[in-house]
A and B are shown apart, each in its own frame.
Chain A
Amino acid sequence: MSDAAAGNGSYNFAYLDEQTKRMIRRAILKAVAIPGYQVPFASREMPLPYGWGTGGIQVTASIIGQGDTLKVIDQGADDTTNAVSIRHFFERTAGVATTEQTAAASIIQTRHRIPEAPLHDNQIIVYQVPIPEPLRWIEPREAETRKMHALAEYGPMYVRLYEDIAQFGQVTTAYDYPVVVNGRYLMRPSPIPKFDNPKMDMNPALQLFGAGREKRIYAVPPYTSVKSLDFADHPFTVERWAQCCAICGADDSFLDEVITDDQGGCMFVCSDTDYCRSRQTAQAAE
């Protein structure tokens, strides 16, 4: 156990005991072997509340080693309260190095975003997942949805998308947009904006998904196809902004709208704080 953790009493490296990590690693291996399939695992009660990323934290705790460098983001930013809290948790229990730079991290735990900078094959991205079941709003019963997955019975999801198009002329799902992994399993990408969906496809990094409260782990192995559901005459598209980032001028990143006054004034800035900062640094150097 590291000295950093010793100060907190008798907790193991990265909080979880080794037996638990082993159980979670087995679930991860199974998840990698069956891309997009939700593997049930014996999720533990963590010292952070359910909904705060207990699944992602358990996955990270099970794969992290002393040589790893961890980056934690929430809404794309390293400095949002929950990202800070989770990063502190690992600094405290594992004493590992942390970073805010996407390129410098070996493990990136994220909530709601995929970094703008491309990931590499020596990186693992861990998603925090609130509801892992893509069919949940169509069928509330787990016993049923498992059957639907077994039979690849995904028609109802297409019907739902079709109904959106028939009613609104477009699919009205803006985030957590359903994907098919490796041509087989329907998967929820976690509540990332659909803007990020194309980044999952054939990504060199290993993508792991942890849902603590729902006790499921799933994975997209490196270089695996991830296809957002669409129709031939209504292809999948991502949103674009009329504005650029007010700070770094990026026109290719996901922008957050920051309200600046009560007169309707607002500005648009990169949601990915590291991307924005590295662009500013590059511009300053020029």
Chain B
Amino acid sequence: MYVAVKGGEKAIEAAHRLLAETRRGDPGVPELALAQIEGQLALAVDRVMAEGSVYDRELAALAIKQARGDLIEAIFLLRAYRTTLPRLAASEPIDTGKAHLRRRISATFKDVPGGQILGPTFDYTHRLLDFALAAESGAAMAAAPPTPADSGPMPRVSTLLGDQGLIEPNPTEPVEPGDLTRDPLAFPADRALRLQNLARGDEGFLLSLGYSTQRGYGRNHPFAGEIRIGDVEIEVVPPELGFPVVIGEITITECEMVNQFKGSATAPPQFTRGYGLVFGEGERKAMAMALVDRALRAEELGEEVTAPAQDQEFVLYHSDNVEASGFTQHLKLPHYVDFQAELNLIRRMRAEWTEPQAEAAE
């Protein structure tokens, strides 16, 4: 009778064994290798690295495998690993202007110095299921086009606008960015901290928020000034050397939105910026991030804060999917003490409600 609250220990152990077996699936089918996940589910790996805040393809692939393909669970695994790592050094700011690009497009100009590069995009595919892929043979694969020679650094579109004074300048003062993982969020949060939060934020949440600004909830008239995907070098300055040393290369996706701005008492009419940057290839996330970044600048630009996407506390407190997933799912933990207290209360209230009615009927 009393077993309802007993046996937790055995139940957990059995559940873990069952999970391991379910994760593996049919043992007659070969097990996934991390290299396969890394190479063939590369965008899943990218998302887990971006929101898990660790640039490590192999660990991300492992997390995806362990999480049975549940990307938010994989992000959680990677975050819980990251939190224990020592902070050895902070890198120098990356220069995306010097990135080796494999994709670069601008929606604001027909042609830009350096040209438009489509790269390996889904954009103009017809979303018809390719049954040839189901055959699992490489025979049907067309030869990839030759990789174009690296055209070298390409100037940013926003720099071209900036040269004519048409867009607000980027802040030039170097600001020591905060670290959300080492200091609790406080409000108002500066832009660097907001961008850090958005970069770790859930893609789906940012996508919907960004979309809401396009539909009128904090509209900010965006144009995709430039989207670039490429590789940048990471440099650190070891204190004993005093000069930067390259420690590796990462892939990033950057989006610069160009937004209309009517001007205010202190600023002339000019374009403003929204910025998005994520690890790996994550164009949808980078664009959504840029929309939300611009929306969150409403107060700074003297615009009225009316929509959820413009509200710092609303956006920054709810963007993290590890936090959101945990707190939403904690509802399945036992709550029977609180529920018992509510049961007692509602029974008492019902009794008090019924009494006068019964008296009236007499």
Contacts and interface: CB of A to CB of B under 8 A. Distances in A.
Given A49-B322, A52-B330, A143-B313, 17 more contacts: A44-B83, A49-B325, A50-B330, A74-B333, A75-B5, A75-B337, A77-B5, A79-B8, A84-B8, A141-B313, A142-B187, A169-B352, A174-B345, A191-B338, A216-B184, A255-B340, A256-B340
B8 A83 contact: yes
A101 B214 CA distance: 59
A82 B333 CA distance: 7
A255 B342 CA distance: 13
A47 interface: yes
Contact of B2 (A42, A215, A247): A247
A188 interface: no
A43 B184 contact: yes
Contacts of B224: none
Instruction: Identify whether the interface residues of B are mostly helix, strand, loop, or mixed.
Output: helix
Interface string A181-201: 000000000011111000000
Contacts of A113: 337
* Shortest 7 CB-CB contacts between residues of A and residues of B: A51-B330, A50-B326, A174-B341, A49-B326, A193-B341, A215-B184, A45-B83
A11 B338 contact: no
Contacts of A267: 1
Contacts of A255: 340
A40 B326 contact: no
Contacts of B183: 42
A84 B15 CA distance: 13
Interface in A236-268: 239, 241, 247, 254-258, 260, 267
Interface of B: 1-2, 4-9, 11-12, 76, 79-80, 82-84, 86, 181-188, 313, 317, 322-323, 325-331, 333-338, 340-345, 348-349, 352
A74 B338 CA distance: 11
B5 A79 contact: yes
A143 B184 contact: no
Given A45-B80, A46-B83, A239-B344, A51 B329 contact: yes
A81 B338 contact: no
Contact of B333 (A45, A51, A213, A254): A51
Interface string A68-96: 00000011110111111100100000000
Nearest to B80: A47
A74 B76 CA distance: 23
Interface size class of A (residues with CB under 8 A): 35 or more
Contacts of B331: 51
B2 A130 contact: no
Nearest to A43: B184
Contacts of B348: 170
Given A45-B181, A46-B83, A130 B12 contact: no
Contacts of B8: 79-81, 83-84
A278 B294 CA distance: 61
B342 A174 contact: yes
Contacts of B330: 49-52, 130
6 contacts: A49-B76, A50-B326, A140-B313, A168-B349, A256-B340, A267-B1
Contacts of B313: 140-143
Contacts of B181: 42, 44-45
A105 interface: no
B186 A81 contact: no
Most chain B beta-carbon neighbours within 10 Å: one of A44, A49, A141: A49
Contacts of A51: 326-331, 333
A84 B182 contact: no
B341 A239 contact: yes
Contacts of A40: 184, 186
Nearest to B186: A40
A54 to B, nearest CB: 8
A194 B341 contact: yes
Given A75-B336, A82-B334, A258-B2, A172 B341 contact: no
B40 to A, nearest CB: 28
A262 to B, nearest CB: 14
Which of B82, B322, B326 has most chain A Cβ within 10 Å? B326
Contacts of A141: 313
A112 interface: yes
A106 interface: no
Contacts of A170: 348-349
A217 B11 CA distance: 32
A113 B344 CA distance: 16
Contacts of A260: 1
Contacts of A239: 341, 344-345
Nearest to B4: A258
B186 to A, nearest CB: 7
A228 interface: no
Contacts of B86: 17
A271 interface: yes
A257 B343 contact: yes
Contacts of A273: 5
Contact of B185 (A112, A215, A241, A269): A215
Given A51-B333, A81-B8, A213 B326 contact: yes
A162 interface: no
Nearest to A111: B333
A175 interface: yes
Contacts of B186: 40
Contacts of A17: 84, 86
B337 to A, nearest CB: 5
Nearest to A171: B345
A260 B335 CA distance: 18
B323 A213 contact: yes
A11 B337 contact: no
A194 B344 CA distance: 12
Contacts of B344: 174, 239, 241
